[in-house]
Amino acid sequence: MACAKTLYRKLIDSHTVRELDDQGNVLLYIDRSILNEYTSPQAFSGLREKNRKAWRPESVLLNVDHVNPTRPVRDDKMTDPGGQLQVDYFRENSRDFGIELFDVLDTRQGIEHVVAPEQGFVLPGMVIAAGDSHTTTYGALGAFGFGIGTSEIEHFLATQTLAYKRLKTMRVKVSGKLDPAVTAKDIIMLLIQRIGASGATGFAIEFTGSVITQLSVEGRMTICNMAVEAGARGAFMAPDEKVYQYLQDKPRAPKGEMWELALQSWQNLYTDEGAEFDREIELDCDKLEPMVTWGISPDQADNISGVLPDPADEKDPQKRLAQEKALAYMALKPGTRLTDIPISHAFIGSCTNGRIEDLRLAAEVLKGKKITPHVRGMIIPGSTLVRQQAEQEGLAKIFIDAGFEWRQSGCSMCLAMNEDVLEPGDRCASSTNRNFAGRQGAGSHTHLMSPAMVAVAAIAGHLADVRSINGGEQ
């Protein structure tokens, strides 16, 4: 009898060209990739130097997202000369290697991890490797996505394969009854807080449980996307009816008979009964509140009703040091209530929370309200298509009326590689995924949270509980 397999092993084994040794190193076939202007240049230079072609150019998409401006009126010029060089070279690589490019003015452009699912470019059962750590997002569709470095991109482009070491497996079962104000972002923030920023290093996480089943596909993407902040090099969920429905009308999804065949082949994408995981975690969300980060690592997070920790109370010397460092950088005092932390900026966007459902949640909070005058609010849709849809649904008007800037798509202030940069001392409520020191600008302070929580902080002028808007108290 064949032995019970995890979904992870099914995905990896079905793409293993050859076992390289008995330590779990394999030559892995990669179905598809999406590359950005920032991490791909050296890979293409490497190919050029060796006079190599791309093996399957049609399996790759190029998409500009990291350095482009997000000014409300779009043009295709970068503000920074370095960024302009990267985009020019990207265009040249698209031409010379015959790879399709979603350039800045293309209506399909956006943040790669929003664009690829939206185009139906990622399908269940696929293995996707791309030059960005948040490639894990595609796990929400039952694909296995992981980030690779520049030399690996070159290897992939030339051969369609990668040398890969199989990961350990972790199953995270998410159960309980969610408070309506709690979102997918809060669930993944809870997991990261619980297991730590390197708690899943060396692991691929499979998320299961009733909460995951109930989440929308977009919510699942938020979870798989941010699992990388716990160190995971892969995060996924078994595909279900919701995934098939999500994909069915997407431009690049198979059609007609091919769709039927694809559906059949996806039926086997689940973990077999009795398959073993290296680690199992239960996450009960019954008492989960909206979460925010207070420090400079994504695991330095708490419920919004919490207070800042006092390092003096921390027994673990390493944690104590990390807390001291974080509080000093963040210019915060132990014991402060999280809701007493004032903000100067509010940012809604990124590949974690820049999809249409995220914007709808933010709009629900902002409808008929104004943000505090001293807060600069920016909304950066995850893709140009998301932007169009938000405009059609009337969300853009709600944002603009509330005092937010309604901008074009890109990574923007998630990592501040274009001109969307915070000044030293600025403090931002942000729907992004990384709060490292200086991430949004040297000397700036970032608090991660869900888009609805960013919206409510923008109205209040300080971190606030999204549940308080119904009760009136802020």
Ligand X SMILES: CC(C)[C@H](C(=O)O)[C@@H](O)C(=O)O
Tell me the binding residues for [4Fe-4S] cluster.
351, 411, 414
Residue 64 near residue 100, CB atoms below 8 Å: no
- Quick one: DSSP state of residue 5? -
The least distance separating ligand SF4 from the CB of residue 92, rounded to whole angstroms, comes to 23
Nearer to ligand X, 344 or 435 (CB): 435
Sequence-distant (≥ 6) Cβ neighbours of residue 140 within 8 angstroms: 117, 217, 220, 221, 223, 224, 225, 236, 237, 243
String marking each residue 331-360 x if it binds ligand SF4 according to CB under 6 A: -------------------xx---------
The least distance separating ligand X from the CB of residue 40, rounded to whole angstroms, comes to 10
Q: In the range 16-75, which residues lie near ligand SF4 by CB under 6 A?
A: 65-66
Q: Which two tokens stand for residue 97?
A: 């290697």
The answer to whether residue 253 forms part of the interface with ligand SF4 (CB under 6 A) is: no
Q: Which two tokens stand for residue 158?
A: 């030339």
Q: In the range 14-73, which residues lie near ligand X by CB under 6 A?
A: 38-39, 66
String marking each residue 110-139 x if it binds ligand X according to CB under 6 A: ----------------------xxx-----
Residue 113 near residue 134, CB atoms below 8 Å: yes
Nearer to ligand SF4, 65 or 357 (CB): 65
Nearer to ligand SF4, 134 or 462 (CB): 134
Out of 54, 111, 356, 453, name the contact with ligand SF4 by CB under 6 A.
111
| Residue 350, contacted partner among ligand SF4, ligand X, none, CB below 5-8 A by kind | ligand SF4
Output the CA torsion 385→391→393→394 (10° steps).
160
The answer to whether residue 435 forms part of the interface with ligand SF4 (CB under 6 A) is: no
# of chain residues touching ligand SF4 (CB under 6 A): 13
Nearer to ligand X, 78 or 288 (CB): 78
Q: Which two tokens stand for residue 183?
A: 């979102």
| Residue 39, contacted partner among ligand SF4, ligand X, none, CB below 5-8 A by kind | ligand X
Distance from C-alpha of 464 to C-alpha of 444, rounded to nearest angstrom: 20
The answer to whether residue 415 forms part of the interface with ligand SF4 (CB under 6 A) is: yes
Beta strands in 243-299 (DSSP E): 279-284, 291-293
The least distance separating ligand SF4 from the CB of residue 340, rounded to whole angstroms, comes to 28
- Binding segment toward ligand SF4, per CB under 6 A, in 97-105, 187-195, 410-418, 463-471: 410-418
Mutual angle of helices 356-366 and 395-402, in 10-degree steps: 50
- Mapped onto helix, strand or coil, the DSSP state of residue 13 is helix
Nearer to ligand SF4, 132 or 152 (CB): 132
| Residue 8, contacted partner among ligand SF4, ligand X, none, CB below 5-8 A by kind | none
String marking each residue 370-409 x if it binds ligand SF4 according to CB under 6 A: ----------------------------------------
Distance from C-alpha of 221 to C-alpha of 230, rounded to nearest angstrom: 15
Out of 99, 188, 366, 414, name the contact with ligand SF4 by CB under 6 A.
414
Long-range contacts of 144-151 (CB under 8 A, 24+ apart): 144/8, 144/11, 144/12, 144/204, 144/234, 144/236, 145/224, 145/234, 145/236, 146/233, 146/234, 147/228, 147/233, 149/39, 150/39, 150/40, 150/42, 150/43, 150/46, 151/42, 151/43, 151/46
Sequence-distant (≥ 6) Cβ neighbours of residue 158 within 8 angstroms: 47, 50, 52, 53, 54, 55
String marking each residue 368-407 x if it binds ligand X according to CB under 6 A: ----------------------------------------
Distance from C-alpha of 245 to C-alpha of 388, rounded to nearest angstrom: 21
Q: Which two tokens stand for residue 94?
A: 């698209």
Out of 40, 433, 440, 444, name the contact with ligand SF4 by CB under 6 A.
433
# of chain residues touching ligand X (CB under 6 A): 8
Residue 151 near residue 185, CB atoms below 8 Å: no
Residue 137 near residue 227, CB atoms below 8 Å: no
Beta strands in 134-240 (DSSP E): 144-147, 161-165, 168-175, 203-208, 235-236
Nearer to ligand X, 17 or 442 (CB): 442
- Mapped onto helix, strand or coil, the DSSP state of residue 302 is strand
Residues that bind ligand X (CB under 6 A): 38-39, 66, 132-134, 147, 415
Residues that bind ligand SF4 (CB under 6 A): 65-66, 111, 113, 132, 134, 350-351, 411, 414-415, 432-433
